[in-house]
Amino acid sequence: MKQRDDWRLTDTLEYEHGRGDPFAAAVRATRMPMVVTDPSLPDNPIVFCNVAFQTLTGYEREEIIGRNCRFLQGPDTDSTTIDRVRAAIKDGRDVDVDLLNYRKDGTTFWNALYLSPVRDTDGVLRFFFASQMDVTERVEAQKAISQQKELVEREVERRTADLRAALDAKTILLHEVDHRVKNNLTMIGSLLRLQVRSIDDPIMTTKLDSMLERVDALAVVHRQLYQSSDISSFDIGSFAENLTRDVVGASGRTDIAISIDSQPLFIDAANASALGLILNEILTNSIKHAYADGRPGILSVLVTNVDDRGVIRLCDDGPGISSTQRTKSIGTSLITRLARQARAEAVWTSNSPGTCVTITFPKREAGK
């Protein structure tokens, strides 16, 4: 009871300038709005408020004293936050919340409310002490930021969806084009093969067969390119191995042994067709000339790299071929021209017995 009377005493302090409790004087004079409520009275009314509180809320002291704090609430005050405050009061705990409050003139402000119980020496709850702070600017700024953030996120989401749709469309298109190219290449191959069967002239047949082999080689390049996850690079190493097995297998020549020392070797996809055709010309040439008339032998393929260039060496152990003979064939001029296109180099050397062709070409630039 004594304590409560002390608080009452401060009521008159204002009028008795400077007399009484200096702490009470500080509470009166501080710029921080403060109230004290008395939970022992019905509906826990406000028994003290300072001037800063009056200024903040716009109410006169007479309008404040004796009322429960809820008179500051309004229609937009968050009810869950109110419940938190109520629960704290009921349990005699302190609580720290941001609450939307209403001034006398109906305008609103964000109130950073800190409420704590005041107990006497016996631990009996005597008062609640509440300090307020107008944090409208901070809350509004936070709201603005979160709205901005939401806006940005929505926009990012929308653009991501757009990009994904565009990528899907591109993937479908790529797939469709790949499918059509494959079907067309298959048809071209079939047409050539059917044509070859209808021609009796062996010279014509040989020429068409060479044509067919080239189309087949291009088909293998395309197939391998679109089977890989990265269509901008091409593994010429496994291509060389597959093509060698394919070409020798197609010749039906079980007496030609294959020796392959291969490794994955990546080149730019743009050069895949040119290098694929070069390899095809060299391989088919070897089988036709080095192993002519049923001559058995070993065809060896080495895939390696020297510095930043890829190297493929194809060697036969046939009788060898003179350079004058070689320069006359369309195959040789194809190799020369295609090599220039792919910035590659083809060099013929004697293998005694036989011939080696070494092709060096640019590897795919790392990190490209």
Output b/e per residue, 240-278; b: 16+ Cβ within 10 A: bbbbbebbbeeeebeebeeeeebeebbbbbebbbbbbbb
The distance of closest approach from Cβ of residue 268 to other proteins in the complex, given in angstroms and rounded to an integer, is 22
Q: Which of 3, 147, 148, 190 binds other proteins (CB under 8 A)?
A: 190
First and final C-alpha spacing in the chain: 85
Concatenated DSSP letters for 225-246? HHHSS-TTEEEHHHHHHHHHHH
Helices 202-227, 272-285: axis angle to 10 degrees equals: 140
Collect all residues with Cβ–Cβ distance below 8 Å to 189 and sequence separation of at least 6: 212, 215, 216, 219
The distance of closest approach from Cβ of residue 364 to other proteins in the complex, given in angstroms and rounded to an integer, is 22
Residue pair 265/310 in contact by the 8 Å Cβ criterion:
yes
Residue 198 or 350: the one with the smaller Cβ distance to other proteins is 198
What mask of x and - would describe binding to other proteins in positions 210 to 249, judged by CB under 8 A?
Answer: --x---xx-xx-xx---x-------------xx--xxx-x
The distance of closest approach from Cβ of residue 249 to other proteins in the complex, given in angstroms and rounded to an integer, is 4
Q: What is the DSSP letter of 66?
A: T
Tokens 């004290």 belong to residue: 36
Residue 131 or 300: the one with the smaller Cβ distance to other proteins is 300
The answer to whether 253 contacts other proteins (rule: CB under 8 A) is: no
d(CA 107, CA 314): 90
Single out the segment in contact with other proteins by CB under 8 A; choices: 3-11, 82-90, 93-101, 193-201: 193-201
Residue 280 or 360: the one with the smaller Cβ distance to other proteins is 280
Residue 191 or 330: the one with the smaller Cβ distance to other proteins is 191
The distance of closest approach from Cβ of residue 78 to other proteins in the complex, given in angstroms and rounded to an integer, is 54
Site residues (vs other proteins, CB under 8 A): 178-179, 182-183, 185-187, 189-191, 193-194, 197, 212, 216-217, 219-220, 222-223, 227, 241-242, 245-247, 249-250, 252
